[in-house]
Amino acid sequence: MATQRINDRISEPVVRLIDGSGKMIGEIARDQALLLAHDEGLDLVLVDATATPPVAKMVDYGKYSYQEAKRLKGSARGKRSEIKEVRLSARIDEHDYGIKANRAKTFLSEGHKVLVRVRMRGREQIFSENIKEMLYRFELATDAKFESPPKRLGNSWQAIIVKS
């Protein structure tokens, strides 16, 4: 976090002041804002230096800096979408196909993307159009949509699906 400008380190002559409860007080001189903050036992913190005039808030600086650090730490570690993989084969049975579709639905409901990969072996490669149809059917079975359309990579087909 960059160094925060508080109290006497604020050099702007006029600031838009927000009090401790979040209520907008208005545009006042910096010195008057410092006096108001001091009377309430709070610090004057510049929260938006790019605004015209700059926005300052009356807060307990120790508590404010702790909350800001906590917020920044939480956003860096926030829930990220992962790519989960479901592997199918060209000769998959209907029951197994349903199990894989349900597994993909679970991943999608958790907010993940799903990479669906169908590997072809030997003579299975001549039925590649059937594999493409299988991927489109898989998209319908999981109530999802393609993020990237099915494409062939060597001896396999793959597509990424996301929750629709």
Q: What is the pLDDT of residues 108-136, one digit of tens each?
A: 998 899 999 998 888 877 877 788 888 88
Q: What is the rounded CA–CA span in Å between residue 164 and residue 161?
A: 9
CA dihedral 85, 91, 96, 101 (to 10 degrees): 40
Q: Is the pLDDT of residue 4 over 80?
A: no
pLDDT number for residue 80: 65
Two tokens, residue 1: 């976090």
Q: What is the rounded CA–CA span in Å between residue 61 and residue 32?
A: 18
Tell me: the pLDDT tens digits for 40-85? Answer: 889 888 888 888 889 998 988 888 888 888 887 765 555 666 889 9
Region 83-163: CATH code: 3.30.110.10
Q: Where are the domains of the chain?
A: 7-76, 83-163
pLDDT number for residue 87: 92
pLDDT number for residue 121: 86
Q: What is the mean pLDDT of residues 133-161?
A: 87
pLDDT number for residue 62: 86
Residue 115 pairs in a beta bridge with 85, 160
pLDDT number for residue 116: 92
pLDDT number for residue 95: 93
pLDDT number for residue 3: 66
Work out the percent of the chain whose per-residue pLDDT is above 90. 18
Two tokens, residue 81: 């979408």
Superfamily of chain region 7-76: Translation initiation factor 3 (IF-3), N-terminal domain (3.10.20.80)
Q: How buried is 71 (Cβ within 10 angstroms: 0-12 exposed, 13-18 middle, 19+ buried)? A: exposed
